Amino acid sequence: MAGKGGLTELDVGVLSAEQQEKLRQFKIKTRIDNEKYLRSHPEVEVLIGDFLRDVLVKRPQDIREFAADHFTNPNLQASTASKMKENNDME
């Protein structure tokens, strides 16, 4: 029963108990790996925060074009570095 957006109902009997446990362990490992990555790259938080702030303030009609323009801005790296320095100075 696949709808336009994917499955409409979960079929819990599809995976064996062993497969479910492997999937659970994979999800846990992935989450830990993602957390380690984000902790070692604090600039990601600054990038996402700035982007979300701009989206909420400017409310662009075309979010994809806005995102493309935002993340290809030639001043993005300098702006991010400056904000990270401000954050470090506040600590």
The two structure tokens encoding residue 45: 């938080």
The two structure tokens encoding residue 82: 């400056």
Cβ neighbors of 46 (< 8 A, separation 6 or more) are 80, 83, 84, 87
21-71 per-position pLDDT tens digit: 999 999 999 999 999 999 999 899 999 999 999 999 999 999 999 999 999
Q: Which pLDDT band holds residue 4 (cuts at 50, 70, 90)?
A: low
63-67, 72-76, 82-86: least confidently modelled range:
82-86
The answer to whether the pTM exceeds 0.75 is no
Reduce the DSSP state of residue 3 to 3 states and report it: strand
Domain boundaries, the chain: 19-90
